[in-house]
Amino acid sequence: MVEKSHAQTKVGIQLKTSTETTEFAAAELAKYLGRIFDHEQMVVLEHAPTYGLTVLRLGLFTDFPELNPPEVPDAMWDDAVYIQVKQGEGVIAGNNPRSLLLAVYRFLNEVGCRWVRPGQDGESIPRRNPADLTVTVSERAAYRHRGLCIEGAVSAENVHAIIDWLPKVGMNSYFIQFREGFTFFQRWYDHKHNPQKPPAGLTREQALAIVRSLEKEIRRRGLLYHAVGHGWTCEPLGIPGLGWDQPIPKEASAENTPFLAQVNGKRQIWQGIPLNTNLCYSNPAVRQLIVREIVQYLTDHPGIDLLHFWLADGQNNQCECSACAQGRPADFYLQMLNELDEQLTAARLQTRIVFLIYVDLLWPPEKEQIKNPERFLLMFAPITRSYTQSFPNQTVEQMLPPYVRNHLEFPSGIRENLAHLRAWQQVFSGDAFAFDYHLMWAHYFDPGYIKIAEIAAQDIKNLRVHGLNGYISCQVQRAFLPTGLPMKAMAGALWDPTRSFNELATEYFSDAFGPDGAQCYRLLTQLPNFMDELDPWARQYPAIGNPEIMEKLGQINQTLSALKLLVEANQNTTNQCHRQSWKYLGLSLEISAQLTTILLHWFRGQKEMASSLWTELKAFTCRVEDEVQIVFDVFEFIETIERAFNGLKQVN
């Protein structure tokens, strides 16, 4: 039991090791303690002991040889925290500068601070006195890789907000795809799918300037910085790879054409999209072109911790020439990885390289081996999987289907996907993590956000069983409507997978919604999901009149009505964070109610009415976009539901 004191004792913050990140950690602690004490003058940043002050000492484990902190396998890549504070005085430490920042936020969390979503309206800061602050923590994060990858439509402010939020919930990595993330920023600034806002006409140079500013925020927090991914198969040819919806108006030049993959007897840009165009990887000149480009890029961008080297996106688009037919794409991929390692070593560049097993590359090499495993990390991206099943808690034994060039079918089952991972692990036993898509598309078909959160948490709990040391979530950045539970569940499970999902969820709803949070959780759990039926990767869309779908849709309205009453009862609650959570939930319920009505009309065979109501719902989401901008990606919502309707039309 802590004895409370109401004397306004000043608290000094003494920083032992000074780096950009540790200075930021000390400043964050001072900022939040000033709000906790409701008196900023009570917090003093000190570089040396000051008589008469209650002192919080901040530093690295090496600054405090008298401590017995948790051990970590690698001080740069892994995170551990040590907190021993009694009545406002003591030690907050981490094994590296980033870990110290995580330790500061963990201390603040333990004394009652909460960050249920990015932005100030997602913060809940308690009032305390220094003597109330007693915390003891000594922990190591369960997984090394804990981060997000940019996706969806975003403003610079959106990405800054999510970068700021990640370490507050124990995450340690951020990934900006492509060289300038152009397509993600363009979707927002040009307001794709929202005719109510005029396009800004974003340029590539402006997007690059945004990325440079965001890199500073990543560096300030010491987060592990992942970069690029796709684009290495077109940028070295002088062809921009800006996005999946960025076709080029003409064929490749005569100089570049011999380098392109030969498919169906032709060497050309695949369906007009450079980013989706593979090359003739058996050609040594092609491999050298790519490798030299990567080495030069890393020479020019030394701040990257993990560079992703992926082949083209798309599927069944590999080169069919006689030389490429002598090996699987994975064999030529590993040849390039080995050649890249040799040139990076010669250039004295230590950057680690992430390689991707995904679509055609799910089939492992037959001949090649990685020569220097320490350079590389394997990234498992089961993009075609189902999100109504989770990774099992034991390894699986299953035969792979045969590799048939450009005639592959990709697995939706979890066991089938894991069989591909297991086959790759016979070739590579180094560091590896999952790159998955729980909050990319499927969550839009889970109106309560409960099932997708539970699946994500369970997947993460079982990563270690399958030889994976963490998870980078490829997802929309604004995934906090109706709630931020899936994000909370992912972050919580990555740090401590022994916590139950129900424990994480109960804590989240209390933090985000206050006293009625438990009832809100119970009601949202009652909402059915449609992830298997309507997810864009669904193998078979249901037909009109499908009884299972009709039964699910019939269950929704009664629960939505009960939730609306709960929102009304809490709309004037005094806590700003809770009040905003209820407001966001109310808007989400309106979207869910309209979408339910649309689907009911569709599955009754009333297609024209469904189409008309869908037009109205799109207009509604565009009208309220400013109200939900930080928590809901209107672009990706419309894009995903449109894709589902296109799939339904094909079978109806």
Which of the residue ranges 7-21, 164-178, 480-494 would you say has the lowest mean pLDDT?
A: 7-21
Is the per-residue pLDDT at 251 higher than 90? no
Kindly tell me if the per-residue pLDDT of 421 is higher than 90.
yes
Average pLDDT, the chain: 95
381 backbone dihedrals φ, ψ, rounded to 5°: -125, 85
Among left, alpha and beta (phi > 0; psi -120 to 50; other), residue 231 is left
The one-character DSSP state at 374 is: G
| Other beta carbons less than 10 A from residue 302's beta carbon | 9
SS3 readout for 284-323:
HHHHHHHHHHHHHHHHHCCCCCEEEECCCCCCCCCCCCCC
**Burial environment of residue 198 by CB neighbours within 10 A (0 to 12, 13 to 18, 19 or more):** exposed
Q: Is the pLDDT of residue 283 over 50?
A: yes
Residue 22 has pLDDT above 70, yes or no: yes
Q: How many CB atoms sit inside 10 A of residue 437's CB?
A: 21
Top CATH class, 145-239+282-501 = alpha beta
pLDDT at 5 over 60: no
- pLDDT at residue 8, as a whole number: 60
Q: Report the distance separating Cα 358 and Cα 426, nearest Å.
A: 17
Residues 217-231: tens digit of each pLDDT = 999 999 999 999 999
Is residue 570 within 8 Å of 582, Cβ to Cβ?
Answer: yes
Cis geometry, peptide bond prior to residue 482 (ω within 30 degrees of 0): yes
Does residue 45 have a pLDDT over 90? no
- Residues 6+ away with beta carbon under 8 Å from 10: 41, 42, 43, 44, 52, 53, 54
Average pLDDT of the residues in 204-229: 98
**What digits encode the pLDDT tens for the residues 382-420?**
999 999 999 999 998 889 999 999 999 999 999 999 999
Q: Which residues contact 216 (CB under 8 A, 6 or more apart)?
A: none
Alpha-carbon distance 260 to 262, whole Å?
Answer: 6
First to last CA, the chain: 65
Amino acid in position 504: L
Alpha-carbon span 75 to 79, nearest angstrom: 7
d(CA 475, CA 109): 25
Residue 489 in this model has a pLDDT that exceeds 50: yes
Give residue 2's pLDDT. Answer: 31
Residue pLDDT, tens place only, 359-382: 999 999 999 999 999 999 999 999
Domain boundary assignment for the chain: 11-140, 145-239+282-501, 517-651
- Residue 105: what pLDDT? 98
pLDDT tens, position by position, 565-621: 999 999 999 999 999 999 999 999 999 999 999 999 999 999 999 999 999 999 999
- Of 462, 514, 451, the closest CA to residue 485 belongs to 451
Long-range CB contacts for residues 187-194, cutoff 8 Å, separation at least 24: 187/152, 187/153, 187/154, 187/635, 188/153, 188/154, 188/155, 188/158, 188/635, 189/155, 192/153, 192/635, 193/618, 193/622, 193/634, 193/635, 193/638, 193/639, 194/622, 194/625, 194/634, 194/635
Mean pLDDT to the nearest integer, 317-338: 98
Question: What pLDDT sits at residue 42?
Answer: 75
Q: How far is CA 533 from CA 10, 297, 449, in A?
A: 59, 43, 16
Residues in the chain: 652
Count of CB atoms situated within 10 Å of the CB of 475: 25
Task: Give residue 3's pLDDT.
Answer: 33
The pLDDT, as a whole number, for residue 1 is 26
Q: How far apart are CA 305 and CA 76, in angstroms?
A: 10
Q: How far apart are CA 98 and CA 60, in angstroms?
A: 10
435 is written with which tokens?
């790159």
The architecture CATH gives domain 11-140: 2-Layer Sandwich (3.30)
Taking 60 as the threshold, does the pLDDT of residue 6 lie above it?
no
Whether the pLDDT of residue 539 is over 70: the answer is: no
CA distances from 389 to 143, 439, 555 (A): 22, 15, 22
Q: Which residue has the tokens 């699946």?
A: 455
| Residue 416: other Cβ atoms inside 10 A | 19
Q: Which of 109, 88, 96, 139 is nearest to 28 (CA)?
A: 109
Check: CB of residue 82 under 8 Å from CB of residue 70.
yes
**Window from 108-112, 237-241, 516-520 with minimum mean pLDDT:** 237-241
For 426-461, write each residue's pLDDT tens digit: 999 999 999 999 999 999 999 999 999 999 999 999
Q: Is the pTM of this model over 0.75?
A: yes
Helix (H, G, I), strand (E, B) or coil at 227: strand
pLDDT in the model for residue 650: 87
CB 237, CB 220: distance < 8 Å? no
**CA distances in angstroms from 316 to 123, 363, 415, listed in the order given:** 46, 12, 22
pLDDT at 535 over 50: yes
What is the spatial distance between Cα 561 and Cα 579, in angstroms, rounded to a whole number?
19
